[in-house]
Amino acid sequence: MSLSTIRAHMECDGCGKPMSFDLDAACNPPAGWSLFDVAVDACRGGHVREGRGLSSVQGESEKCLCAACTSTVDAIETPDDRNATDAEIAEALEAELYAPAAQPVRL
């Protein structure tokens, strides 16, 4: 019998929702990498098992973000088109979390 798939279950560092990634069992990671490093690299690759958009790894502290949080952070306009900082990511996600819900249209 051979090992075919390793599944990594993670939580989004933005909203806390679960994400799952199928890791290649034949993966030969660089020396010194842990299984956690392989899972973060899978998140960086963007292919969430559930297929609901693309995940990402962003910020100085390498936050693993789900598709919804990735979209929110990608919308941040930064000077000189640089990557968003951890503080900018936290501010954008907090603003999205506390944004007023769309009101129903009354006819």
pTM of the full structure: 0.81
79 has a pLDDT exceeding 90: no
Distance (Å, whole) CA 21 – CA 10: 8
74 to each of 62, 63, 82, how far by Cα in Å?
14, 13, 11
**96-105 pLDDT tens trace:** 877 665 555 5
pLDDT higher for 10 or 53? 10
Distant-in-sequence, close-in-space partners of 51: CB < 8 Å, separation ≥ 6: none
Mean pLDDT of 56-60: 93
Q: How many other CB atoms are found less than 10 A from the CB of residue 4?
A: 9
C-beta separation of 8 from 21 below 8 A: yes
Q: What is the mean pLDDT of the chain?
A: 86
